[in-house]
Amino acid sequence: MFKSKKYLILLLVTAMMIFGAVGCGDDTATEDGEGDILIGIMVPTTGSEAADGIDMENAAKLAVEEINAAGGVLGGRMLVTTTGDDGCDPSMATAAASQLVSEEVVALVGGYCSGATLPTLAIYGDAGIPFVVAASNATSLIDENPGWAFMINSTGLDQAASAVEKFISLGVETIGVIDSGDAYSADLKEQTIIQWEAAGYEIVADDTVQRGEVDFSAFVTTIMANTPDAIYWTGYQAEGALLIRQLREGGYEGVIMVGDGSSAQELIDLAGDAAEGVLCTGPPLTDFLPAAQSFIENYEASFPREPGAYAALMYDATKLLADAIERAGSDDSAAIKEALDATDGFEGLAGPIMFTEQNTLARSNFVILEARDGRWALVE
Amino acid sequence: MALHEVLLQQLFNGLLIGSFYGLVAIGYSMVYGIIKLLNFAHGDIYMIGAFSGLIFLTIAAPVIGAGWPSLILGLLISMTLVGLLGVVIQRVAYRPMLKAPRLSILITALAVSMILYNTVMIISAGRYRVFPAEVGTESFFIGTLRLTETRIILIVAAFSLMFILHMFITRTMYGKAMRAIALDRDTCQLMGIDVYKIIAITFFVGSALAAAAGIMAGVYYGTIHFFMGFLIGLKAFTAAVIGGIGIIPGAMLGGLLLGLLEAFGTQIPFIGTVWKDVFSFAFLILFLIFKPNGLLGRSESERM
């Protein structure tokens, strides 16, 4: 028995070495600068955030189609995409990231849930693959970024500032905050608390629920005992919609505001009438971008659905990446990273893109939205 | 709100959640009592109940509206259909395993659970769905207690179902046969009881109650999801153990107690909503250590 096992191991090791060598051969082949260029897309295509994730995947594919139809990059080479599903879950995301790295993508776009994006940054950094992060924006991403990720959505700091500013302008004096325990929502809540207290106001309720929670009655009861002027929910729409319903049903009449994780139309659909008047510190929603009207038409012509909240940012991320490849003059990952670093005012649908020293967007892009008649509307 | 008013409100919240747990826990406990199976697919039956209610309402809403009459009709139809689904699952997946080692049938139950929720995931595209019930959400007060018509109807419905079940178990021959099989299956067979038929009826009743709880949860929370059965399955299991697994009044009592523990647990400083599940599973562990037979359970040697 032992002997045969040893042989089996030997056989496996030999096989690995042979296949390893074949892999190396592939590497040199792509460095010749011939053939298609493989770009990875990492978004949640299953799970509770699949709606936004699929919108983003579609937007990236649309951008790639347009680029290829216009002659590709680097003098006629086509872009090809492969998608990894992060499921808005850290452990699924690391598996997806390893898969994408093994497929030898030259660069990546995507990143929706910050909690899922966070552990992948080191994986892509170690592999030396640049990653244009379209939506994820927790401030913790900044600290964990080994330098290969570029965030084109404003961060939690900017968002908390928008929320605090809006509350003050509404004359709110006490707020309750609640998050869903993941990196993104905990970070946004933390930043909001810091900035709100720095502005000299009071937090009267602070709670955390788990992802997937359906019953907020205990929190609602606490809220009704303390009656803050406003409540800020920093998590995603699935739980947010239930929270809004239960707050209104429980008799809460103050201001309810949600973060950009809840900015999908789905929040209003799920919360129904209770959503009316809810505010949102939102991303630059595709609908409200003057530059995005032709994008919306093209999107709806290609896919049987409306582009979601993050489609425009994902489209920008993909176009930015193609632009960087062109400027790098090669499909070498390190050269693409340098070109991304040097980005100076690339005109995206959501406005010009340039990066700070920390690879974050050098301006705040948050807007305040309000749910009116079952749709998000821009508050001037 | 003063503290005692908050606690009163939490008492009501806890009773409502607890009655959902209780309805699901009954099915767990009945099945365990009769064939000693921890039916891990039971939470998914609850989820299927919610989705069948959604399908019924979607079809029925244009014809008879989506108010209480159509909900009650939907509840009865879904309970029947999901009850039959429970019988089919029992016939196809569990009955061939009855003579196999206990672990095999447990693993079969896990497989059934996966098949059920993955099927619904594919059909529902993995998305949250709005439960289209049109019922009153206007609230009114009794003293300082805030109530809605929906909450009162749901809690009355849940308790009525538990009462009907209790009557069924204690006052009918079928109920008597179920209790007898729980004591000693082989002897029952020798006495001429159609054991397989009684097992099928047990699955029918348990699944129908879970379906009812699923629809009620849909009405109460307003949205449903393919994975909604997972956590409630664990909670119902906890409730069944707290009450004494295999004992039906124990499952009802365990469910209500667990709901109340959760509601009051969130009022303890530094515990908060996020620790809710930790709190209830900590109680499960405490019960397993100090009172493994549950609140109403007798000692193991007597029960066997």
Q: What is A152-219 written as a DSSP string?
A: -S--HHHHHHHHHHHHHHTT--EEEEEE-SSHHHHHHHHHHHHHHHHTT-EEEEEEE--TT----HHH
Q: Shortest Cα distance from B264 to chain A (angstroms)?
A: 8
Query: CA torsion angle for B120, A213, A90, A233 (degrees, to 10)?
Result: 120
Strand A149-151 and strand A174-179: the pairing is unpaired
Check residue B2 and give its pLDDT.
75
Is A29 a residue whose pLDDT tops 50? Answer: no
Give the percent of chain B with pLDDT over 90: 59
Q: Give the tens place of pLDDT for each residue, A50-108.
A: 888 999 999 999 999 999 999 999 989 999 999 999 999 999 999 999 999 999 999 99
Percent above pLDDT 70 for chain A: 91
Taking CB atoms and an 8 Å cutoff, what residues of chain A touch B146? 224, 250-251
Across the range A127-141, mean pLDDT stands at 93
DSSP B90: I
B189 lies in some domain: yes
Query: Quick one: A110 and A255 in the same domain?
Result: no
Residue B118 at interface with chain A, using a CB cutoff of 8 Å: no
Give yes or no for B267 touching A (CB within 8 A).
Answer: yes
Distance from CA of A68 to the nearest CA of B (A): 30
Do B231 and A245 count as a contact with CB atoms less than 8 A apart? no
- Residue A144 and residue A214 in one domain: no
Cβ–Cβ below 8 Å for A249 and B139: yes
| Alpha helix (H) residue ranges in chain B | 3-35, 42-64, 68-89, 102-123, 149-171, 173-183, 185-190, 195-221, 228-243, 248-265, 276-290, 300-303
Domain count, chain A: 2
Q: Does B123 touch chain A (CB under 8 A)?
A: no
Which range is least confidently modeled, A55-64, B57-66, B173-182, B260-269? Answer: B260-269
Residues A222 and A312 in one domain: no
Mean pLDDT of A280-299: 85
- Give the domain CATH number at B109: 1.10.3470
**pLDDT band per the 50, 70, 90 thresholds, residue B297:** confident
Asked if the Cβ–Cβ distance from B128 to A48 is below 8 Å, we say: yes
In a domain? residue A1 = no
Put simply, whether B234 touches A (Cβ < 8 Å) is no
Chain B residues close to A48, C-beta within 8 Å: 126, 128, 225
- Binary contact (A212, B231; C-beta < 8 A): yes
Residues A123 and A238 occupy one common structural domain? no
Domain that holds residue A130: 33-153+288-349
CATH number at residue A128: 3.40.50.2300
Q: Based on the domain organization, do A294 and A250 belong to the same domain?
A: no
| One-character DSSP codes across B245-284 | TT-HHHHHHHHHHHHHHHHHHTTSTTTTGGGHHHHHHHHH
Q: How many CA atoms lie within 13 A of A95 on its CB side?
A: 9
